[in-house]
Every structure is written in structure tokens, then in C-alpha cells.
């Protein structure tokens, strides 16, 4: 299964009978899956089914889906009550003649209540079902395009994350090979620290001094941190190759990368090893930022 991003956009539109419709879907990062639908009045009954469809194809992300529908025909019928209009015209004509008033214009008569009847065009149940089926099919089409776009961006992110893992692996190897990690370098560092301690005071107990030396040696040993970094890189590579909704697991690994890198920096007994640790922190942060986009 391919890796997928949580960001994407898709649009679909079409016509069914007297209706034209258009879907617009937008997806951004989110901790879980949140599908929000904006449907016109009268189309709310589709919401539950559309959300179920989205949840089958998406695992994470904030998804906003907007539907617009428009009647492509006039949508109304107009009927003039001719008998009423004639009766009113005759009566108004007589009154106007008696009062020697100017004749009344036709449009004024048409505005009288009951003369003109305007009604929405009727829609059969079959026509409505056909329109709803077309709208649902349009949502499926837009959703498929959204999934494809998220997959395309996921493939690009997989390449970026792979590069960051290569950099982490290379810096881990550099730390492994750093001269400051050689036993003789650690012994020299300890000997220098012990020399400074013994010069400041001559009252050190030999046994206590030996214990302190062992503690110092333990503090500068980064073997465990390097081993964990290697294991985390291997685990992350497996997740990238498997694909699917691995964003949360990769985010956890990013935190572990950061933890081991911080410990490496704190234990470093030489500026060269510290420099590697700081560079590692930068690459790990880049890895973590990109992981936030993964489904």
C-alpha cells in the first residue's frame, strides 16, 4: 500500500435532469479523520452515507466537502387567471370612465392578488432519486481524485523522508566512527578529569575515585544511543516501504529520534561529537515536520 499525504483537493460536476451539481473537496492535516459536509437545504439526507464512504477510503485528515446544486430549467410555472383578469378589467374600465380617469395599465392589474399564480415546477420521485444518485456518484468521483492526489503527494513525501533517514543513518555512522569514542580517547579524557580532581584536593579515597571514574566512563558512553538510532532508522524504512496509514507510528519514531539525539549531545565528550549531535537534531526535526503530513 502506498504512503499517502493528508492534503489534497478535488472537484467534480455534472447534470442530472433539471439539476446541475458540483462537488469541491479539500483535505488538510488532522490528528484523526474529520469529514465535514456542506449540503444545500433538502439534500441533508445524503450526509450519513457520504461520510461512511469517506471513512472507508480515508484514515486521517480534516476533510471539507461542499455541494452546490442549481436548477437548469426555469423551475417554475406561471398561470394567469384570465376570467378574473377580464372581470377586473371591465370593472376598472367602468370606474375609470365614470371618473374620467386615465385607463389602468395591464401590468398593474397583473399584480393584483389572485390574477397571476406562480408555482414551482413539480419534480417526480424518480427524478429526485436520479438526481441524488448522480450527486452521490459525483462525490465518489471527487473522493477518488482526492485519494489519488493524496497518494501522489505521499509518494513525494516518501522520497523526502527516505533522504532524511539516509542523513540520519550517515550521521549516526559518523558518530560511531568519531575518534572521541575510541577507548584511548575516553581514557585520556578521564585521566585528565581525574588529574584535575587530584590536584585540587589530596583527600580522595582511592575506592571512591575508582567509582567516580566508572561513572564518568558510563556518562560518556553513547553506545546505546547509537544502537537505538540504527534500530529506529531500520523501523522507519520498513514503515515507508509498507505504506498505508503509518503517520502516527512515524511521529512516535520521530520523537524517539529526538530523544536519542538529545542524550547523545548531553553525553558527548568532545566538540566534534557534539557537532554531529547538533546536526542530527536538525535533520531529525526536518524528518518530524514532514511526518506531520503523512496519513
Q: Is residue 295 in some structural domain?
A: yes
Radius of gyration of the chain from its Cα atoms, rounded to whole angstroms? 38
Q: Is residue 216 in some structural domain?
A: no
Q: Identify the CA nearest to 233 among candidates 264, 219, 262, 254.
A: 254
Together in a domain, 91 and 9: no
Give the SS3 label for residue 42.
coil
Together in a domain, 152 and 294: yes
Residue 210 has pLDDT above 60, yes or no: no
Together in a domain, 235 and 278: yes
CA atoms within 13 A on the CB side of 186: 18
Q: Identify the CA nearest to 105 among candidates 117, 87, 89.
A: 89
Instruction: Quote the CA–CA distance of 164 and 290 in Å, as a whole number.
Output: 10
Together in a domain, 276 and 233: yes
pLDDT tens across 143-196, in order?
999 999 999 999 999 999 999 999 999 999 999 888 776 655 566 666 666 666
Helix (H) or strand (E) holding 257: helix 247-267
Looking at residues 78-93, what average pLDDT do you find? Answer: 83
For the ranges 3-7, 96-100, 145-149, the lowest mean pLDDT is seen at 96-100
Together in a domain, 153 and 133: yes
Give the chain's domain count. Answer: 2
The answer to whether residues 61 and 27 touch, using CB atoms and an 8 Å cutoff, is yes
Q: Is residue 195 in some structural domain?
A: no
Together in a domain, 144 and 231: yes
Which pLDDT score is estimated for 117? 74
Helix (H) or strand (E) holding 71: strand 61-71
Q: Is residue 203 in some structural domain?
A: no
Instruction: Quote the CA–CA distance of 266 and 277 in Å, as a whole number.
Output: 9
Q: Is residue 187 in some structural domain?
A: no
Q: How open is the CA angle 82-87-92, to the nearest 5 degrees?
A: 125
Which pLDDT score is estimated for 150? 96
The grid coordinates listed for 240 are 515507508
Instruction: Quote the CA–CA distance of 105 and 50 in Å, as a whole number.
Output: 54
Q: Identify the CA nearest to 68 among candidates 119, 105, 14, 125.
A: 14
Together in a domain, 45 and 23: yes
Together in a domain, 143 and 42: yes
Together in a domain, 108 and 26: no
Together in a domain, 92 and 9: no
DSSP 45: G
Domain with 142, as residue range(s), is: 1-72+124-177+222-295
- Higher model confidence: residue 119 or residue 131? 131
> How many percent of the chain have pLDDT more than 70?
83
Q: Is residue 182 in some structural domain?
A: no
The grid coordinates listed for 46 are 445524503
Which pLDDT score is estimated for 119? 61
pLDDT tens across 27-58, in order?
999 999 999 999 999 899 999 999 999 999 99
190-212: b (≥16 Cβ within 10 Å) or e: beeebeeeeeeeeeeeeeeeeeb
139-158: b (≥16 Cβ within 10 Å) or e: bbbbbebbbebbbebbeebb
pLDDT band at 292 (very low <50, low <70, confident <90, very high): very high
Q: Is residue 191 in some structural domain?
A: no
Which pLDDT score is estimated for 270? 79
- Higher model confidence: residue 115 or residue 228? 228
Instruction: Quote the CA–CA distance of 63 and 55 in Å, as a whole number.
Output: 10
Q: Is residue 213 in some structural domain?
A: no
The answer to whether residues 43 and 187 touch, using CB atoms and an 8 Å cutoff, is no
Which pLDDT score is estimated for 108? 83
Together in a domain, 3 and 53: yes
Q: How open is the CA angle 171-175-176, to the nearest 5 degrees?
A: 115
The answer to whether residues 232 and 171 touch, using CB atoms and an 8 Å cutoff, is no
Together in a domain, 257 and 275: yes
Amino acid at each position: 500500500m502506498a504512503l499517502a499525504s493528508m492534503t489534497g483537493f478535488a472537484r467534480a460536476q455534472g447534470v442530472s435532469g433539471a439539476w446541475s451539481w458540483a462537488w469541491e473537496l479539500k483535505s488538510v492535516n488532522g490528528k484523526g479523520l474529520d469529514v465535514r459536509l456542506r449540503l444545500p437545504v433538502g439534500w441533508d439526507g445524503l450526509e450519513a452515507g457520504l461520510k461512511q464512504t469517506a471513512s472507508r477510503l480515508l484514515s486521517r485528515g480534516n476533510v471539507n466537502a461542499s455541494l452546490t446544486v442549481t436548477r437548469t430549467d426555469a423551475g417554475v410555472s406561471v398561470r394567469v387567471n384570465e376570467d378574473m383578469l377580464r372581470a377586473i378589467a371591465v370593472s376598472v374600465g367602468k370606474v375609470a370612465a365614470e371618473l374620467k380617469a386615465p385607463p389602468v395599465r395591464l401590468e398593474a392589474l397583473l399584480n393584483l392578488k389572485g390574477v397571476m399564480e406562480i408555482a414551482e415546477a413539480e419534480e417526480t420521485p424518480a427524478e429526485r432519486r436520479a438526481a441524488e444518485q448522480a450527486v452521490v456518484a459525483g462525490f465518489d468521483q471527487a473522493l477518488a481524485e482526492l485519494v489519488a492526489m493524496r497518494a501522489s503527494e505521499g509518494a513525494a513525501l516518501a522520497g523526502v523522508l527516505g533522504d532524511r533517514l539516509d542523513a540520519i543513518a550517515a550521521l549516526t555512522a559518523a558518530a560511531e566512527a568519531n575518534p572521541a569514542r575510541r577507548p584511548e580517547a575516553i581514557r585520556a579524557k578521564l585521566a585528565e578529569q581525574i588529574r584535575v580532581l587530584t590536584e585540587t584536593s589530596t583527600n580522595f579515597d582511592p575506592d571512591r575515585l575508582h567509582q567516580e571514574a566508572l561513572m564518568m566512563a558510563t556518562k560518556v558512553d553513547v553506545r546505546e544511543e547509537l544502537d537505538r538510532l540504527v534500530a529506529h532508522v531500520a523501523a522507519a524504512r520498513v514503515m515507508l516501504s509498507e505504506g498505508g496509514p503509518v503517520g502516527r507510528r512515524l511521529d512516535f519514531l520521530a520523537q524517539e529520534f529526538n530523544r536519542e539525539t538529545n542524550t547523545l549531545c548531553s553525553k558527548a565528550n568532545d566538540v566534534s561529537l557534539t557537532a554531529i549531535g547538533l546536526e542530527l537534531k536538525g535533520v531529525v526535526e526536518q524528518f518530524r515536520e514532514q511526518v506531520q503530513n503523512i496519513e
